[in-house]
A and B are shown apart, each in its own frame.
Chain A
């Protein structure tokens, strides 16, 4: 018996043909090929496939810059959560290893020549930028150029847990999240790419009386806005997740309609549909400045030349403040590292995304069977830092094995970090700032991924001439000067 499959990555069953297909679709650099094919994300952690993939990409015509190896992800040997929980996090620093560059030192070949002009230039190839590009095209504005300094998904959009929930504490956030859930449900069939949308629900565990009061209050609001949130007793929560340690919480907030998706294809879907409709997605191109006349930006300057434009959108997530500063605009956003990890894949056992209030712990089971989870660190200083720490491995392992003891027997395969884009009131920054045509689309405090489908749809409508949604009037930069600030306080998972 013969087989036509030549396996480049035996862990994830990725064939040479898969890599050839990815390359033909424009996924040329190793980081993107890793994400698109799944190679290097299995139990061998890339030890067996990295060289094969590099060789295959070179054979296909990739440049040496494009085959810079993907970032090293500890633990370098799969290690059980139980073992890692034996480390004392208090004795471990917040320091990572060597700095991790966002783009390789030798810049890979950009995806296309730089256009000389465009009606709209979007800066940032995360979910906000590509979502806006797609929605603008749908509304007939197709003269759009999106500039990304590395590859699509390089920032927080490619580093998050993929949760989409309607359990919020303000009517606005509930409305946006519900719209995102609707879009997520139809995304695969409408955009032609699987995002593994699964309504497994969100289960928030309330460990103290105070947390119980909060989820009870939220549930009343949810009911008023059509969200099916129920408050569960610990015994009822065990029916949803039988492996929980029910002695560790007093009640739980459960919405079976919340969902988890696989983040990467969400952004790829938006980007490739936007390109099909006429937008240009230009990767490995860095914005270095702006040209302006009076109150208007006239051109975006990059390391590869300038683009004259009518409107600029800053959708750079944690890098938004840096980019706005190039235009002389001061944003109050602060980047803040959040770490996350993934285990070896198991057969399906965990239905919802589980989050423990107070600790910031969240975890869910991905479409491939891995447990994906993170945990904020109260001592984390602000700053752009995507390095991983040993301290996080210890803290997360302790937290998840306390919540679900059986996870002590699961092996951690890989850890990474992304940056939240934090604002003083935990609400986004939208609308024009500094210049009349310099639009902001940032400050989503770790929830940009789940808000993007709804927000980019509204923003494209507004840019196409619809009356502005209230969010574009409420969440402007000048609210901080006006003192009109009411914070969002349900910032988990």
Chain B
């Protein structure tokens, strides 16, 4: 079973992947179609030509770059399927499945020190530099010049909210209550953040809430944009300046606002063990969204890495979808498999057969925008993660507040609270 049996999850079109037809649902991501088809292998890695597949499924990692309709280095997880979409794998000689250059990996078990390789002779060095240039890069140039984008739209708004997870929704709600026009930007294709995983943890807001907030924002004269990553936060005099790429609508936004609430959440983090890059290793939240929204059942046997209620909920969801799922609360010693994960060697000596690893260990706060605004960070030595360390009500810089998981691990309910407080403070500020 590769999809849940509900009729609305049935494929309605096909896309072509390296010339082979793959069933897909219009509008779902290319990664969803490929995982449902049991094909997590997408490309070969930059240096060692190792098999690579999508990891985060949420447009933060760089592991799912493919060529789409003649355009290179496009994230498969951000590409919506439609009939006849042409997807090609990259950086592989003879196809991603049988890349001959995979030999580079086999012959360098401890890696290649590219700083010092082939420096013993000038002639050898010249040849090595030329050869490495030929092997460099991922995709080839685009087939054609893309159509010119229409001029960017200039938008003045009362408040910018980045992220539509529990904290961003809370902030948007409070700002609307305060009578402000809000621009709510979500990088992913739908609102909700981690609520879209449907983990149903205690205190989680209802699934209808994101839609209600969106309507309230729009009724108050604001705007809601999905597929709209915020590219940076600058200042223009006393105002904040942001650029937003509206990937669905074509026109970029140049936003000026006196205040912003950054509820940018977290990025998926891979575990660190040999073989941690095998196709089949995925961020658990991305996997649960694909399961909930596209009915994707990524394999037969899953291991769920991590501790606590979230990891438990992940395992429950996968089991409910018909997979076998085993929790791994300790360390993994090694991942085994060729073109896909086949087993995990655990630190306690056990070998766990699995085709999918759902990584539900702590994620990294998406602190980039807050840092661009001048926020202070705090290091968690256990995970190496840097969280935003805000002042009262989430204030991180003049006119800028942060809320939710970007300030450290918290439940969705706590994130909503933090978002409301930040939104209220921002309404007054």
B274 touches A6 (CB 8 A): yes
Residues of A within 8 A of B335 (CB): 3
Binds A, one of B15-23, B136-144, B303-311: B136-144
B137 touches A346 (CB 8 A): yes
> With the chains together, A180 CA to B110 CA distance in Å?
35
Interface residue A327 (Cβ < 8 Å from any Cβ of B): no
> With the chains together, A193 CA to B114 CA distance in Å?
9
Interface residue B377 (Cβ < 8 Å from any Cβ of A): yes
Interface residue B60 (Cβ < 8 Å from any Cβ of A): yes
> Per-residue 0/1 for B38-79: is the Cβ within 8 Å of any A Cβ (1 yes, 0 no)?
000000011110101001100111110100000111010000
> With the chains together, A16 CA to B273 CA distance in Å?
9
A51 touches B384 (CB 8 A): yes
B47 touches A13 (CB 8 A): yes
Q: Tell me the interface secondary structure of chain B in the complex.
A: loop
Residues of A within 8 A of B329 (CB): none
- Tell me, rounded to whole Å, the shortest Cβ–Cβ distance linking A339 to chain B: 13
Interface residue B293 (Cβ < 8 Å from any Cβ of A): no
B232 touches A97 (CB 8 A): yes
Cross-chain contact of B384 among A15, A54, A95, A393 (Cβ < 8 A): A54
Assuming the contacts A13-B50, A17-B111, asked whether A369 and B141 have C-beta atoms less than 8 A apart, the reply is: no
Residues of B within 8 A of A5 (CB): 48, 50, 105, 109, 111, 274-275, 277
> With the chains together, A220 CA to B60 CA distance in Å?
52
- Interface residues of A toward B: which range? 35 or more
Residues of B within 8 A of A369 (CB): 136-138
Interface residue A287 (Cβ < 8 Å from any Cβ of B): no
Binds B, one of A83-91, A247-255, A291-299, A300-308: A83-91
Residue on A with the closest CB to B251?
A86
Binds A, one of B199-207, B317-325, B362-370: B362-370
Cross-chain contact of B71 among A75, A243, A409 (Cβ < 8 A): A409
Interface residue B399 (Cβ < 8 Å from any Cβ of A): no
> With the chains together, A408 CA to B377 CA distance in Å?
36
Interface residues of A in 356-395 (CB under 8 A from B): 367-369, 388-390, 393
- Tell me, rounded to whole Å, the shortest Cβ–Cβ distance linking A24 to chain B: 12
Assuming the contacts A97-B233, A369-B137, asked whether A48 and B62 have C-beta atoms less than 8 A apart, the reply is: yes
Residues of A within 8 A of B109 (CB): 3-5
Interface residues of A in 40-60 (CB under 8 A from B): 42-45, 47-48, 50-56, 58
B234 touches A97 (CB 8 A): yes
B111 touches A15 (CB 8 A): yes
Interface residue B120 (Cβ < 8 Å from any Cβ of A): yes
Interface residue A69 (Cβ < 8 Å from any Cβ of B): yes
B276 touches A1 (CB 8 A): no
Assuming the contacts A47-B366, A98-B372, asked whether A55 and B384 have C-beta atoms less than 8 A apart, the reply is: yes
Residues of B within 8 A of A338 (CB): none
Residues of A within 8 A of B231 (CB): 74-77, 79, 390
Interface residue B235 (Cβ < 8 Å from any Cβ of A): yes
B115 touches A194 (CB 8 A): yes
> With the chains together, A15 CA to B251 CA distance in Å?
39
A10 touches B61 (CB 8 A): yes
Residue on B with the closest CB to A268?
B115
Interface residue B12 (Cβ < 8 Å from any Cβ of A): no
Interface size of B in residues (CB-CB distance below 8 Å)? 102
Interface residue B180 (Cβ < 8 Å from any Cβ of A): no
A69 touches B371 (CB 8 A): yes
> With the chains together, A14 CA to B272 CA distance in Å?
12
B234 touches A390 (CB 8 A): yes
Assuming the contacts A7-B276, A346-B140, asked whether A54 and B379 have C-beta atoms less than 8 A apart, the reply is: yes
B372 touches A97 (CB 8 A): yes
Residues of A within 8 A of B401 (CB): none
Assuming the contacts A51-B269, A55-B383, A349-B141, asked whether A72 and B368 have C-beta atoms less than 8 A apart, the reply is: yes
Interface residues of A in 225-275 (CB under 8 A from B): 243, 265, 268
B368 touches A76 (CB 8 A): yes
User: By CB atoms of chain A within 10 A, which of B116, B144, B274, B371 has the most?
Assistant: B274
Cross-chain contact of B245 among A8, A79, A345 (Cβ < 8 A): A79
Residues of A within 8 A of B125 (CB): 188-189, 194
Residues of A within 8 A of B151 (CB): 86, 88
B119 touches A194 (CB 8 A): yes
- Tell me, rounded to whole Å, the shortest Cβ–Cβ distance linking A97 to chain B: 4
> Per-residue 0/1 for B209-250: is the Cβ within 8 Å of any A Cβ (1 yes, 0 no)?
000000000000000000001111111110001010100000
User: By CB atoms of chain A within 10 A, which of B122, B231, B254 has the most?
Assistant: B231
Residues of A within 8 A of B4 (CB): none
Interface residues of B in 183-214 (CB under 8 A from A): 187
Interface residue A179 (Cβ < 8 Å from any Cβ of B): no
Cross-chain contact of A7 among B110, B121, B277, B386 (Cβ < 8 A): B277
Residues of A within 8 A of B243 (CB): 75, 87, 390, 393
Interface residues of A in 394-424 (CB under 8 A from B): 405-406, 408-411
Cross-chain contact of A82 among B111, B148, B397 (Cβ < 8 A): B148
Interface residue B350 (Cβ < 8 Å from any Cβ of A): no
B137 touches A348 (CB 8 A): yes
Interface residue B406 (Cβ < 8 Å from any Cβ of A): no
> With the chains together, A53 CA to B381 CA distance in Å?
11
Residues of B within 8 A of A52 (CB): 269-270, 272, 384
> With the chains together, A134 CA to B243 CA distance in Å?
45
Cross-chain contact of A43 among B62, B128, B241 (Cβ < 8 A): B62
Interface residue A198 (Cβ < 8 Å from any Cβ of B): yes
Interface residue A18 (Cβ < 8 Å from any Cβ of B): yes
- Tell me, rounded to whole Å, the shortest Cβ–Cβ distance linking A47 to chain B: 4
Interface residues of A in 1-43 (CB under 8 A from B): 1-8, 10-13, 15-18, 21, 36, 42-43
Cross-chain contact of A345 among B110, B138, B234 (Cβ < 8 A): B138
Residues of B within 8 A of A51 (CB): 269, 364, 383-386
Assuming the contacts A95-B235, A344-B73, A369-B138, asked whether A76 and B369 have C-beta atoms less than 8 A apart, the reply is: yes
> With the chains together, A12 CA to B111 CA distance in Å?
12
> With the chains together, A79 CA to B149 CA distance in Å?
12
> With the chains together, A53 CA to B144 CA distance in Å?
38
- Tell me, rounded to whole Å, the shortest Cβ–Cβ distance linking A107 to chain B: 15
Assuming the contacts A77-B187, A86-B151, A346-B137, asked whether A48 and B60 have C-beta atoms less than 8 A apart, the reply is: yes
Instruction: Please name 10 further chain A to chain B contacts, defined as beta carbons within 8 Å, in addition to the given A10-B63, A13-B45, sorted by A numbering.
Output: A10-B52, A13-B111, A55-B381, A55-B384, A64-B381, A69-B371, A88-B152, A188-B122, A268-B115, A367-B129
- Interface pairs (10), CB distance under 8 Å: A5-B109, A12-B47, A48-B270, A51-B269, A76-B229, A88-B254, A91-B254, A95-B234, A194-B117, A390-B231
6 smallest CB-CB distances across A and B, nearest first, come from A369-B137, A55-B384, A98-B374, A74-B232, A43-B62, A409-B142
Residues of A within 8 A of B (CB): 1-8, 10-13, 15-18, 21, 36, 42-45, 47-48, 50-56, 58, 64, 67, 69, 72, 74-80, 82-88, 91-93, 95-99, 185-186, 188-189, 191-194, 196-198, 243, 265, 268, 344-349, 367-369, 388-390, 393, 405-406, 408-411
